[in-house]
Amino acid sequence: MRDAVGGTFMINVLLVFLAVYIVFIAVALNYAKAFRVKNRIIDIIEQNEGIEDYTDVGDNSVLGQVNDYLRSVSYYVRLSENKDDKYGICFDEGYCIEEPATVNNYGADETYYKVTTFVKLDFPFFNLSFTIPITGETRRITNLKG
């Protein structure tokens, strides 16, 4: 009888460690996806040498390209309920873009953009939900006056 109770206890311990391991892997995969999305948004902004209009989401615009990419990789973080101005201009697709500064160096305007994506973690059994921001910056984009 003593061996049966000890075996049950060991199975319970094994199930707890297995659950913790699965949660850890799920969080790591979501975190990696948010980093990959942030880097791709930065690449799109750099390839188009900045953003001209934050309201244009047509197919040929920068934001249209970003939204097409987000639809293709299944990045689903909705910010419609908790938009925050400290990250710049936030979009419902789950990313924010901030244009922090324009520096004038020798007659050329240099601008860089700050991109923030988010990892949203929900633990419904414990009634916990929180969002982790992941931020990155583009290289300086030079616009020559002339």
Q: Is the dihedral of CA 31, 32, 35, 41 positive or negative?
A: negative
Q: How confident is the model over 61-91, as pLDDT tens digits?
A: 888 899 889 889 888 787 765 566 678 888 8
The string of DSSP codes covering 63-76 is: HHHHHHHHHHHT--
Range of the domain at 113: 2-144
37 CB-contact burial (10 Å; exposed 0-12 / middle 13-18 / buried 19+) = buried
Q: How confident is the model over 31-45, as pLDDT tens digits?
A: 999 999 999 999 999
pTM: 0.81
| pLDDT of 8 strictly over 90 | no
**The two three-digit tokens of residue 8, written as one number:** 């049950």
Total domains in the fold of the chain: 1
